Structure 1
């Protein structure tokens, strides 16, 4: 039986109570990492890394159903004498692999964080190396179904084909995914995280979550407030709306992408010498390309056909990363010139907007990977099992969010409307946590995937939280703003909380 005791918090000189530990948690057994997992890490630093597979129950309330092996990686603190504890990372998704995030931690965090914390990456249950949840028997079967899904179906035939494929997807998951399918909620992952926290020997959790990882962090701090030390959430979801009304959440998510697109086009117009798409009216030109693609593909001079699916998916993807803005502008200008060719102009090849669109995790080297994205979202987000409504919802959203409304409706709303019923054990609140320390939040003004308003709501819902507003484009900010990175370091190391209303700038704005 775990016993509460007093412990010295390393590096702080403060005596803090140890929370009662969950029964059954075991120490992590660290081993040498496979060389392929440390690709890109200098040989002189590889001694810092260890890896493990950590078993957790498939069903935390019924351990007899078996276990999932969580893949973990640790980068040891480089100043062990001043070590504070471990820092767990989650990159988002859901379904994002966090296993090798310690290998790139220097790109996200100041040196002092790497000196004072072991950096822990992990693949959540059902993701990649952690017993991937699979709805199909093979990569071919997955491609046969997922390949028929259009991300922006416009015609009746495209809509029917897409919905039929989603139905097959759900049926295949019900048939093949097994017991794990019913235990993929964020609450399940938070309980896994608490076992890992104990497994690495930490009394309290230190955690940085990006995007969907902010929901995991918000869930953890509410389930285990007495075990939470420092929680940093970057690119926040609206946890209350996401877990109460998945349809409205995704509607507002589409609006966030539109706001980010507006920001990109505005920055372009303000920097005519550095943005290739600035000539004329960028907004009008963009809308012309999009509306033309609704009628059919645009054929480029090299014979490549660009579809509405490719255009929408690739534009949305580029909005995540401001470093891609210049190339996005160049590609958009090339597409517009194809609609209005001029003699003597040499055609330009596309770089970002010609990427084939795909759904799910189809890896070119290893084949079919997992189906964790829908498994998590269709568990957490309440979406009616009413596929007949999807086309009408898409048309309504397209009217208010003309670039991203339709694609957003034909993602989770369509997929989850035919997903198998899963475990209803989802944390849907309360969100006002009782942890001793405030949660630190970052929100970009032009974040496409988690619009700034979501970060404001996260602050309000958590109550004991502090939001830092960043005048930045792109999804999440740590590693791209020295201001935000310094605030994070001071918080993680010394539990220093910024003043209310704190703002930061990115290190570089688009087109500068």
Structure 2
């Protein structure tokens, strides 16, 4: 859940008459009809359609919104099982663009042969009827603080002022969609799409935030579950409400213990860098101690880069925390750290500039007006209970940074907008999370996941009575990043047969970060 831009498409805003909370829902109405999907060719073998679904599922005859849907047809239609719906996470990310860019590479040839791959932009997001709080992307980005995470009290106050600017803009311009973006409504949309494609039960793969969508669907529609893979697991109790009153005092990421997950992964970065020797640019000496010395130097004064910009402690902790989700970026992070640590050498600042540019070039930028600034908070803040005063973020961020140095602050401050978010969704789902599903749910947890800690997967595998835990003993956020052929084999078999792997199955990774390449 680190702030970032994703590859996205231009979308058109929902007409916004008012941002006032919606009236109380009318219960007892008939369920909405499944939308009609008119598939048209949209290049490279993909087909696209638009689904009309109710803005408010309690009022199926009321106003509708559109969902942008895409599918890649099965390569062996004669043996087709059905549709595999995919959510890439976020929230606020485009399922349409994710499927077009990466979907086919995620699944085995046999899965591709027997399933249409289907995804959609969730309600309020991107090419579906979007929440828009600004006229342009530049205006949206200007509402965000000019620093990656606050450290000093003055920076915290400035950060909160930017949160207030975003909340005020959405209160004025967000419109009705802002009050109907909770994950439970996305799950109800998913149920309508399942019916629209003609599948008797749902086959679904959800990554990161998509794991919460999968859990919500499984608990709202347990009898409709054919096969659900959730990977990079959110603990639904910690996320939605917390335990023992936590929701009033602790932001949702810390209830998820995300700071712990990032911290444990950072220790692995140091350990593997040290073992890697020459394959890790930051291995000379003890990487953990070098990082501590570098952090102390940057807190005292930033490093000046060749273009005149200053690289600050704020950037160090933010970039480090963000990179823990993506082992493919660890060599670049090591180069950056080494160059910053060698700033007094003639080539140090220039090397730091090159490494920083390469690190920032990892995620692709988008076109038009991607509403990632407001789209993510509209889901996160309506799904979850949170403190109602920004002071709680300052207090808990300091405590998190004492427990887990360097990463506690960037993890905590990400959600501070929720203290002021104006949207409320009366139809959000807060549990119970223990429905007995018609078929097993496969829960995939990566041991060193820099965003969703492995313990969350253990929790969910015990919450759902018909779930099976598959452990990936690797590094990275979801098995998309912590690649494992073993995980892929078990996942493919489960999707094809609904039979999960044996209890206690543990898979190894395909790649160990900083390990020397095999001989030959």
The interval holding the TM-score normalised by the smaller chain is 0.7 to 0.9
Q: In the alignment, is residue 253 of structure 1 matched against residue 294 of structure 2? A: no
Shift of 1:293: 2.6
User: Quick check: 2:205–2:228 contact (8 Å CA) kept in 1?
Assistant: yes
Q: In the alignment, what sits opposite 1:489? A: 492
Distance 1:333 1:199, change over 3 A: same
Query: 1:154, 1:294 within 8 Å by CA — same for their partners in 2?
Result: no
Q: Retained in 2: the 8 A contact 1:233–1:440?
A: yes
Task: Work out the number of aligned pairs and report it.
Answer: 474
For 1:357 and 1:379, the matched residues in 2 are separated by 30
Out of 269, 272, 279, the position equivalent to 1:274 is 279
Q: How does 1:451-462 map to 2 (within 5 A)?
A: 451-462=453-464
Alpha carbons of 1:364 and 1:495: their partners in 2 closer, same or farther (altered >3 Å)? closer
Matched with 2:195 is 198
Equivalent residue number for residue 15 of structure 1: none
Rate the CA distance shift 1:167–1:490 in 2: closer, same or farther, 3 A: same
The aligned residue for residue 228 of structure 2 is 231
Give the alignment partner of residue 222 of structure 1, picking from 219, 223, 234.
219
8 Å Cα contact 1:205-1:228 kept in structure 2: yes
Q: Kindly state the Cα deviation for residue 137 of structure 1 after the two structures are TM-superposed.
A: 3.0
TM-score (norm 1): 0.87
Please tell me whether residue 189 in structure 1 is matched to residue 186 in structure 2. yes
Structure 2 spans left out of the alignment, 5+ residues: 1-29, 516-520
Give, in angstroms, the shift of residue 364 of structure 1.
Answer: 6.0
Question: How big is the shift at 1:496?
Answer: 1.9
User: Structure 2: how far apart are the matches of 1:99 and 1:200?
Assistant: 16
Partner of 2:399: 396
Aligned to 1:208: 205
**2:239 pairs with 242, 248, 259, which one?**
242
Q: 2:475 maps to what in 1?
A: 473
Distance (Å, rounded) in 1 between the aligned partners of 2:330 and 2:391: 38
**Quick check: 2:68–2:128 contact (8 Å CA) kept in 1?**
yes
SS at 1:312 equivalent? helix
TM-score, scaled relative to structure 2: 0.86
Distance change (3 Å), C-alpha of 1:299 and 1:354: farther
5 Å matches for 1:34-433? 35=43, 46=44, 48-63=45-60, 65-103=62-100, 104-146=102-144, 148=145, 150-245=147-242, 247=250, 249-251=252-254, 252-338=257-343, 341-342=344-345, 348-354=351-357, 365-367=367-369, 369-370=371-372, 371-412=374-415, 414-433=416-435
Provide the rounded CA distance (Å) in 1 between the counterparts of 2:76 and 2:445.
Answer: 31
- Quote how far apart the aligned CAs of 1:426 are: 1.7
1:313 deviates by: 2.8
Q: Contact (CA 8 Å) 2:382, 2:424: kept in 1 or not?
A: yes
Runs of 5+ in structure 1 lacking a partner? 1-20, 36-45
Decide which moves more: 452-461 or 307-316: 307-316
Structure 1 stretches of 4+ with a deviation exceeding 6 A read 343-346, 355-358
Structure 2 counterpart SS, 1:100 = helix
Corresponding residue SS for 2:39: coil
Structure 2 residue matching 1:311: 3-state secondary structure: helix
